[in-house]
Amino acid sequence: MSTVIHLRAETKPFERRSPMSPETAKALIQAGYVIRVERSRERIYNDDEFEGIGAEMVPAGSWLNAPRQDIILGLKELPDDDIPLPHTYIHFQHNFKKQLGWARSLSRFARGGGTLYDLEFLTDQNGRRVAAFGYWAGYSGAAIALLSWAHQVLNPGVTQGPVPVFDNVSVLVQHIKSAIEPAIRINGGQSPRIMVIGALGRCGKGAVDFCLAAGLGQDAILQWDMAETSRGGPFAEIAAVDIFINCVYLGPTPTPPFVTFESLSTQARRLRVICDISCDPNSENNPIPVYSGWSSFDKPTIPSSKPLDGPELRIIAIDHLPTLLPRESSNEYSALLLPSLLSLARREHEGVWRRAEQVYKDRIRDLPQSEQN
């Protein structure tokens, strides 16, 4: 019997990405998989792109009643309810680091007898993720950070509105260039000074690349990585830039904070915008403990959780930044994920799936007894 992969329609607002492109769906079909794709008006790929390569099109939400042996593939976490989950699922659930509400969310899989392969924990034998959106997260985060800086300079005291929708990279770059040019003029002709921490990783490279594409010079971008942060924070240098972009992957090991309210309470502070691409505000390991919630594409910035003297400080904490450029990011991600998807039929013997399933089982064992039934 052929293995069935059921690609569900995303329900998170503004989420336009897909972990499977028509091209990778075609490769899976050619390898003997049955591909069912839920219809979606939001997904960056049109339904007819999937239909044209031989995928079976099904209604949105039909994954709930799919045969139990089908594998349900998605991107973002499932809708928040108490329905037990009996299938095998592949998506980002944001539970395995024991984030806020993790036990209640994860218990749905335990109660239903399902299995969760979290995309964040699909790793090779060296512990590296087999697929990630890091580059496009950094690229998109830098774009929104520059847009926020320009908005503050041009419209002091006015809350920033929704982020526009962009069809491709060139449209995004041109929009941001047009937005920051008048702000630079008002700023005395001075470009914003930007610090990127984690600059040597894929996320950091994406952030730096966008800043350069937007016309900023290398001298305007302060690029830090492990060598510069090894002494431990907080770092006074962050308060002296206009924009701080955090590209450091948040792991299980506590990290000394990069900033604190005390380190930002200086009369010399220039910092107006923090873009936290790691975006895990309720984790005890969060290195930017000056905010406590998330922002969105509708409301791209939030204030710090305590007021500060000096320039207004706004934080960008959007947990699906790469959807700003959904086709570019989905094309890359789905291509990286394809080799692992091609091994799904024999997943009990494949290291990437065995490792991910072990993480799931370990977290299920960590559930409080009250959440296991």
Mark whether 226 and 107 lie in a shared domain. no
Angle, CA 28 vertex, CA 22 and CA 32 arms, to 5°: 140
pLDDT band at 370 (very low <50, low <70, confident <90, very high): low
pLDDT in tens, 98-150: 887 889 999 999 999 999 999 999 999 999 999 999 999 999 999 999 999 99
Mark whether 177 and 301 lie in a shared domain. yes
Mark whether 265 and 329 lie in a shared domain. no
Mark whether 330 and 320 lie in a shared domain. no
Is position 127 within any domain?
no
Mark whether 306 and 351 lie in a shared domain. no
Exactly one of 12, 26, 91, 94 is catalytic; name it: 94
Is position 125 within any domain?
no
Mark whether 163 and 181 lie in a shared domain. yes
Number of domains in the chain: 2
Mark whether 152 and 285 lie in a shared domain. yes
Mark whether 177 and 318 lie in a shared domain. yes
**Does 94 qualify as catalytic in the annotation?**
yes
**Counts for the chain of helices (H) and strands (E), in that order:** 10, 12
First-to-last CA distance in the chain? 32
pLDDT in tens, 137-162: 999 999 999 999 999 999 999 999 99
Mark whether 217 and 341 lie in a shared domain. no
Is position 371 within any domain?
no
Is position 287 within any domain?
yes
Read off the tokens for 12. 């998170």
Place of tokens 């992969």: 5
Mark whether 284 and 139 lie in a shared domain. yes
Is position 32 within any domain?
yes
Could you tell me the CA-to-CA distances from 219 to 148, 204, 212, 272 in Å, in that order?
21, 16, 10, 19
pLDDT in tens, 331-354: 999 999 999 999 999 999 999 999
pLDDT in tens, 23-64: 999 999 999 999 999 999 999 999 999 999 999 999 999 999
Burial readout 101-131 (b: 16 or more C-beta within 10 A, e: otherwise): ebbebbbbbbbeebbbbbbbbbeeeeeebeb
Mark whether 273 and 355 lie in a shared domain. no
| Residue range of the domain that includes 212 | 133-324
For residues 219 and 223, what is the distance between their CA atoms, to the nearest angstrom?
A: 10
Exactly one of 6, 12, 76, 151 is catalytic; name it: 76
**Does 349 qualify as catalytic in the annotation?**
no
Mark whether 59 and 172 lie in a shared domain. no
Asked whether the predicted pLDDT for residue 372 surpasses 80, the reply is no
Q: pLDDT > 90: what percent of the chain?
A: 88
CATH number at residue 192: 3.40.50.720
Is position 126 within any domain?
no
Q: Which residues are annotated as a binding site for NAD(+)?
A: 128, 201-202, 225, 229, 249, 318-321
